[in-house]
Structure 1
């Protein structure tokens, strides 16, 4: 490609000396390069004497082809450079529904402001499925709770997601602040389904607090939990990050829990033995930076 570029430069300037100067080559070196190119092609490309340099018919036929080749080459390498720098590419992000409704949209919006040529694809799922998707390499990274006993997955914490009592605004009058754990013995409990990470920690938290409260309803969707609470059918214990989904179309209130409080850790999971594509690395770094900014903001409030 370098010899073709030199041919192109000589053809445009009609000068070996000028081409040698701008290319930082000696004129004999330039002449040898053009001669080798002519030998490879089996044709003479330039007619020249002490005063003039002109393209031969073969040179004129080659010129538009070389212009097209160099333009395509430059365009391809510009795109490749953008991919290597994370300006182009694709990021497939898996996330818990609660995270996908808050932190993730904010991160995607900020990311695309800086890297508009990157395609971001979102896959929502429960923790077990997200970790399996990660190992199947159908997603690049996942935002979820820590994997247990899986050294193949690297986990970077983002934030602590505090569990709170969720109820109707009217219920706040009979629930002290912070909310006592005994409230779950006094009012019907609305739970998430048993295989969800939210439910697993809820059950563990109740067990540690010595609370036995059978679920009046078990729901697959957080919006369903909110709907049941809004109709006065019970209360729930949920991570704060889920409140936006729970309160869709309903007036929902919440109280922090008395000590000992409970929380779940939300973080970024990636495969330990996989190097993320540059765009994926940039997105992960942005998530971590935004989580740190959120934590600093909340600490100062």
Structure 2
């Protein structure tokens, strides 16, 4: 075979095979009749086979033409299906998104966000990965996820774009009926302190708040999971400081939450993605749904 036929050539061949009329086929293909005749002649030369039997009144497929028509029908159908799917992907109607989120966001606002997204874009598959900030930002950097709902990246990390969504105020958490007389950061000076693990963003925020207040409480217990911390508080083992968004994770314990007055301890939650990587259309749609909560 001298050369592989183009898709345009095959489409013209199919039209002629279906109409069995050069004049009508040329009209449907939006080409002149001489141009169509030349296209078919070159196709026959390239394939080294006669595709049509012709006379003044009739055009009919040869056996080679019938074989090519069956192949052409499949090729064009596959091509059109593939580009229809690509069009849906490019418009955000189909695709895949990997979303990294803080555990507190996953059990808080995320279910409602995913419900709204699914209603608008049912053809997009979403994978959710929960984790702490360091882990999620590394996954962003390695392109394992597309977007992250996180605390801000480190100041030294210049490769991320971060859009603040809302602030997450910090609260003193204590056993119901056992709140300090005047709940505040000073309450931790002489009360048993139950802390989150040093690797968590919560611990970094509370440590910084204690430093601003001139305090250095030594944790009596350290927990990696808010649910464990909540159980310890409910058992009367101490008090803690947690962002309000952690409330669903702490569990249905009989606890009291008292807002703390240091706005610098409020945790900023936002959307992050790699600056050098343009979000896919599906990811852009997800970003819009996430942003609907309102930037802070």
Alignment TM-score > 0.5, same fold? yes
Q: Number of matched residues?
A: 289
Partner of 1:224: 228
User: 2: distance between equivalents of 1:180 and 1:241?
Assistant: 19
Partner of 1:263: 266
Give yes or no for contact 1:163–1:261 (8 Å, CA) kept in 2: no
Partner of 1:108: 114
- Residues 1:88 and 2:94 are matched in the alignment: yes
User: 1: distance between equivalents of 2:285 and 2:228?
Assistant: 35
Post-superposition shift, 1:187? 3.2
Post-superposition shift, 1:161? 0.9
User: 2: distance between equivalents of 1:261 and 1:251?
Assistant: 28
User: 2: distance between equivalents of 1:253 and 1:12?
Assistant: 77
User: 2: distance between equivalents of 1:180 and 1:57?
Assistant: 90
CA RMSD of aligned residues (A): 2.0
Post-superposition shift, 1:204? 0.5
Partner of 1:166: 173
- Residues 1:243 and 2:247 are matched in the alignment: yes
SS at 2:126 equivalent: strand
- Equivalent of 1:145 in 151, 155, 158: 151
Post-superposition shift, 1:200? 0.5
Give yes or no for contact 1:92–1:120 (8 Å, CA) kept in 2: yes
CA offsets, 1:27-86, max 9 Å, x none?
222221111111111112122233222112211121111111111111111122222222
* Structure 2 unmatched ranges of 5 or more: 1-6
- Residues 1:155 and 2:157 are matched in the alignment: no
SS at 1:292 equivalent: coil
Change (3 A) 1:7 1:202: same
Give yes or no for contact 1:192–1:218 (8 Å, CA) kept in 2: yes
- Residues 1:286 and 2:289 are matched in the alignment: yes
* Structure 1 unmatched ranges of 5 or more: 296-301
CA offsets, 1:132-159, max 9 Å, x none?
2222222222221111211112211111
- Equivalent of 2:103 in 81, 97, 107: 97
Post-superposition shift, 1:226? 1.1
Give yes or no for contact 2:186–2:213 (8 Å, CA) kept in 1: no
Superposition TM-score, scaled by structure 1 size: 0.89
CA offsets, 1:150-209, max 9 Å, x none?
11122111111111122233235x555xx3333323532211011111001001011112
Give yes or no for contact 2:169–2:263 (8 Å, CA) kept in 1: no
Partner of 1:75: 81
SS at 1:274 equivalent: coil
